[in-house]
Amino acid sequence: MPNSILYDTDFCAWANEQAALLRTGQLGAADIDNIAEEIESMGRTEKRALISRLSVLLIHLLKWRYQPGLRGNSWRSKVRLQRRELESHLSDNPSLAAKLPEAVDKAYGNAMIGAAGETGLAESTFPQACPWSLGEIMDDAFWPDGD
């Protein structure tokens, strides 16, 4: 079965076949175009994961800041966990550090929507731009207690 047909019909089989071809140096038989596409897609996936993790962290920081009466160990542990997972993700993908300003902007937009949905507060309650620096967002000692 030609590479491109297998790519469309059984991705797992295609991936295993391509890995075997690459390992044995049979580059001429490899499906180079689709391999390149999959590698690029992996990079986009890692960036989306960064934005997703930042969004979850920022939702919890907004909730912490704007619902002080509901603070508890559950929220604290979620913030700490997201910070650790973000650090791990960035450690595994150091080139994503250059994308952090853009990622924070996108994640904050998502976080405003998420925090509004989870708190019942209007989106207009929250600042239009992220009020915290990346250093604060990632700092285990930082808890947004007020203005």
pTM of the full structure: 0.83
pLDDT of residue 129 exceeding 80, the answer is yes
Range of the domain at 114: 45-138
Q: Is residue 40 part of a domain?
A: no
Query: Can you tell me the distance from the alpha carbon of 24 to that of 97, in angstroms, rounded to the nearest whole number?
Result: 34
The domain total for the chain is 1
Q: Is residue 129 part of a domain?
A: yes
Q: Are 47 and 103 in contact (CB under 8 A)?
A: yes
Q: Is residue 18 part of a domain?
A: no
Q: For position 147, what pLDDT does the model report?
A: 45
Q: Are 97 and 122 in contact (CB under 8 A)?
A: no
Q: What is the mean pLDDT of the chain?
A: 94
Q: For position 6, what pLDDT does the model report?
A: 87
From 54, 38, 62, select the one nearest 102 (Cα to Cα).
54
Q: Is residue 126 part of a domain?
A: yes
Q: Is residue 123 part of a domain?
A: yes
Q: Is residue 37 part of a domain?
A: no
Q: Is residue 147 part of a domain?
A: no
Q: How confident is the model at residue 146 (pLDDT cuts 50, 70, 90)?
A: low
Q: Is residue 34 part of a domain?
A: no
